[in-house]
Structure 1
Amino acid sequence: TVTGNAHFIADTEHDTFKQIRKLFEFIPPNYKEKPPTTYSVEPNIERFDITSILPEDPKKPYDMRDVIGGIVDKSEFFEVQSGWASNIIVGFAHLDGKPIGIVANQPLMLAGVLDVDSSDKAARFVRFCDAFNIPLLTLVDMPGYLPGIDQEYAGVIRHGAKLLYAFSEATVPKLTLIVRKAYGGGYIAMCSKHLGADLVYAWPTAEIAVMGPEGAANIIFKKEIENSPNPDEMRKLKIKEYTEKFANPYLAASHGYVDAVINPEETRKELIKGLNFVLSNKDYMGNKKHGNIPL
């Protein structure tokens, strides 16, 4: 599974068939039918507490699976290719009894950045969901694409373009939730409004900008920081100023890039309402279908 060639791993034959049966809970018999639905079940948590998941320091990581568990039915998430490109998470779950495919950055691994492998992994999964009429939920928390000569030589732009293409081409309902960081080209690639997301939500903790506040402040306010009698203190003030004025989700909402800034405790309710709205108003069962090319 570390190469991405295998999607699941099982210890026994019984476990193998158990996983296959689980997979069939999410996919239809063929591309002309909708995926099977079931009854809605609340997550296995009493209350979705953001303070117990997100660290106060935005630089510190957390497990995105905890966010997923607080949103989906029964807190059950059927992950795909868990051993490969761990900086991005893909898999299936139910939301209000309806199958969905989830694509999520994983801050625990490389801060959730996109790179060659994670772009291929996510793009392939998005196309699979679109081929079988499975709605998509994207959870965003990432600082951008992984920099470095190795990634450049490996063709990160070419591979990254696959994810942009997959999201743009997908006709299924597409919902996006920005949890924390959403910077630069990586923000665009993670099913933003620019790629055709039907509904985009953001938590108040979201930071949406061309680049991170620290880097931006060092560039925009370079002279003011250098000429200050206390450069370190001035840098902190300018970082805070940039974050409050330019990187907050309310500014993005005022420009139409975010449909609603929601309280974390209301996330499941808002996503269910949004999913049902898009499902009832969007024709995604047309003739435009495609195969699932190995990426």
Structure 2
Amino acid sequence: MTRVGLRTLSRGSAAVSAWVSPARPIRPVGKFLATEEYSLRSYATTAPHQPVTSKETAVLQRIDAKRAEAFLGGGQKRIDTQHGKGKLTARERIDLLLDTDSFREYDAFVEHQCYDFDMNKQKITGDGVVTGYGTINGRLVYVFSQDFTAFGGSLSKTHAQKICKIMDQAMLVGAPVIGLNDSGGARIQEGVDSLGGYADIFQKNVLASGVVPQISLIMGPCAGGAVYSPALTDFTFMVRDTSYLFVTGPDVVKAVTNEEVTQEELGGAKAHTTKSGVAHLAFDNDVEALLKLREFVDFLPLSSQNEVPKRRTDDPSERADAALDTIVPVDSTKAYDIKKVISRIVDTNTFFEIMPDFAKNMVIGFARLDGRTVSIVANQPLVSSGVLDINASIKAARWVRFCDAFNIPLLTFVDVPGFLPGTSQEHGGIIRNGAKLLYAFAEATVPKITVITRKAYGGAYDVMSSKHLRGDLNYSWPTGEIAVMGAKGAVEIIFRNVKDKTQAEADYVAKFANPLPAAQRGFLDDIIVPSTTRSRIIRDLKMLKTKTLRNPAKKHGNIPL
């Protein structure tokens, strides 16, 4: 017996050890095995006492044969090729993603209806995509998985119809939609029908936005018009070295711009998780990606009409952490890691960071407090002092809007010296992009709790979920500094004609570089001891569970895009 995909096996989780043969998946999907033996469904085709006619037998045999064809996709040779690239097949991916035997497939017998270019002689049962529903940790999800072994996973009219069908049903019942993308793009032989299929999917993506969570996992090529569906979903994950996202490929880029670039450089996981911000996370192989996706989905509510899930925790809600009392350096110019602050406050080992390699001066992610999902937004003093810039603003704004759409409370940690100055930021649109984050926090109606750990200067203080943006509970640690700007800059303006500004700077620090002025004006609800932050927030979240706040009636707002 041979191992499947050396790269996958060498860098995946222990679950990969279950793969022992190219012809055998980890476990059967439903009651089938994708092998050349064409294993048949184990159900009684007729009542035990009822005689079966030869006609019925023939029909049942045809059905079983067609179903077995569907499970082989493009055939064993192409399955072996897929495995040779270190990739799982469409059905193997579903099998690993969903709970054992929970998948129920739709439209397994569907075939394309194209007759041009002799396509009527080239039909593969299922037409290159597997669709249906199942469960992840017992909770309902809908899934489609493109099959690269069948027509390269290319999108036809019927392929698109299968995807749209499960998206419609997901919206009706209120359950997340997960797309496992591995496609060569539009099926050229179908021409405009294929393009229409993409547009139909895009429309469903937009209609489902804010109704049910939508997640795209890119597990192969995704080029041209195909890229816009993942872009419209809430989260896009990628697999390193085997997945690509680009509007135009390297050949077209070279022809038009004379620029030579590889697929990986142009649209690989590294490019999109570190530079463009198109992808939220990247994983080493299919197995790791699917197992992490299971973990990720467990944080999400099923729909906008559902509460966040609650999970059992052994972490006491009243736990105090004395290390938090000294974690912020006395010298305000010294950095510290906000992720350590977050990890000490939330339930043990529950922080799940999103977009960790893009705009590192801003930290976002899910965590749990007393077992319930919360959203984290935090400035990172370790990177550029936690300053707000274009990318950080965009990253956090989209995150805040998602969490507000799905009733996930917002917990914000603030240590921000202001917005990044400079011509590149001004000309790049920091005003408009910074306003996106301001808009997102101001629009949000979910519970909002803010903790100022140190600096909160200038307009950035306002933007970072301040009391003025309908914050529910706004706290500061004793180390908080809430002011228009830092002492040095302020003194240079106020005392510009004074030669020795040392005493003036000390006076400014004494007066403004502390949280008391803001607390005296009611802009802070309390100044709290850092070690008590966890218990305080958990009690507040329980109190805010019944919060009801609605924005004025309107068609929709006009966020500064």
Same-fold status (TM-score > 0.5): yes
Q: 1:25-174 to 2 correspondence within 5 Å?
A: 25-42=298-315, 47-50=321-324, 52-174=326-448
Q: 1:251-262 to 2 correspondence within 5 Å?
A: 251-262=517-528
Is the Cα–Cα contact under 8 Å of residues 92 and 99 in structure 1 kept in the other structure? yes
In 2, Cα distance between equivalents of 1:140 and 1:123: 15
1:242 aligns with 2:516: no
Q: CA deviation at 1:221?
A: 2.7
Amino acid in structure 2 at the alignment position of 1:10: F
Amino acid in structure 1 at the alignment position of 2:406: F
Q: CA deviation at 1:75?
A: 4.1
Is the Cα–Cα contact under 8 Å of residues 409 and 448 in structure 2 kept in the other structure? yes
Name which of structure 1's ranges 18-27 and 126-135 shifts more when overlaid on structure 2: 18-27
Q: CA deviation at 1:97?
A: 1.3
Q: 1:283 aligns with which of 531, 548, 551?
A: 548
Q: CA deviation at 1:39?
A: 2.7
2:8 maps to none
Runs of 4+ in structure 1 off by over 6 angstroms are 285-291
Is the Cα–Cα contact under 8 Å of residues 73 and 97 in structure 1 kept in the other structure? yes
Distance 1:239 1:260, change over 3 A: same
Q: 1:269 aligns with which of 511, 532, 535?
A: 535
> Structure 1 length normalisation: TM-score?
0.90
Q: CA deviation at 1:283?
A: 1.8
In 1, Cα distance between equivalents of 2:551 and 2:408: 14
Q: 1:8 aligns with which of 268, 281, 284?
A: 281
In 1, Cα distance between equivalents of 2:552 and 2:455: 37
User: Percent identity at matched positions?
Assistant: 49
Name which of structure 1's ranges 248-257 and 147-156 shifts more when overlaid on structure 2: 248-257
Q: CA deviation at 1:166?
A: 0.5
In 1, Cα distance between equivalents of 2:325 and 2:467: 28
Q: Which runs of 5+ in 2 are unaligned?
A: 1-272
CA RMSD of aligned residues (A): 2.3
In 2, Cα distance between equivalents of 1:214 and 1:162: 29
Q: 1:203 aligns with which of 477, 480, 485?
A: 477
1:188 maps to 462
1:217 aligns with 2:491: yes
Q: Which runs of 5+ in 1 are unaligned?
A: none
Q: CA deviation at 1:187?
A: 0.6
Is the Cα–Cα contact under 8 Å of residues 184 and 210 in structure 1 kept in the other structure? yes
Is the Cα–Cα contact under 8 Å of residues 320 and 532 in structure 2 kept in the other structure? no
> Per the alignment, in what secondary structure is the counterpart of residue 345 of structure 2?
coil
Amino acid in structure 2 at the alignment position of 1:265: S
In 2, Cα distance between equivalents of 1:248 and 1:206: 5
> Structure 2 length normalisation: TM-score?
0.48
Is the Cα–Cα contact under 8 Å of residues 457 and 485 in structure 2 kept in the other structure? yes
Is the Cα–Cα contact under 8 Å of residues 320 and 534 in structure 2 kept in the other structure? no
Is the Cα–Cα contact under 8 Å of residues 321 and 532 in structure 2 kept in the other structure? no
In 2, Cα distance between equivalents of 1:47 and 1:196: 29
Q: CA deviation at 1:120?
A: 0.4
1:21 maps to 294
1:176 aligns with 2:442: no
Q: CA deviation at 1:91?
A: 0.3
Paired residue total: 283
Amino acid in structure 2 at the alignment position of 1:38: R
> Per the alignment, in what secondary structure is the counterpart of residue 89 of structure 1?
strand
Is the Cα–Cα contact under 8 Å of residues 131 and 290 in structure 1 kept in the other structure? no
In 2, Cα distance between equivalents of 1:266 and 1:113: 27
In 1, Cα distance between equivalents of 2:368 and 2:341: 14
Q: CA deviation at 1:48?
A: 3.5
Is the Cα–Cα contact under 8 Å of residues 183 and 210 in structure 1 kept in the other structure? yes
Is the Cα–Cα contact under 8 Å of residues 394 and 433 in structure 2 kept in the other structure? yes
Is the Cα–Cα contact under 8 Å of residues 474 and 525 in structure 2 kept in the other structure? yes
In 1, Cα distance between equivalents of 2:323 and 2:538: 19
Is the Cα–Cα contact under 8 Å of residues 133 and 284 in structure 1 kept in the other structure? no
Q: Render the CA deviation track for 1:152-193: whole Å, top value 9, x for unaligned.
A: 000100000000110111111000000000000011000001
Q: CA deviation at 1:19?
A: 1.5
> Per the alignment, in what secondary structure is the counterpart of residue 426 of structure 2?
helix
Q: CA deviation at 1:69?
A: 0.9
Distance 1:199 1:46, change over 3 A: closer
Report the structure number with the largest CA radius of gyration.
2
Q: Render the CA deviation track for 1:177-214: whole Å, top value 9, x for unaligned.
A: 00000000011000001111111010000000111111
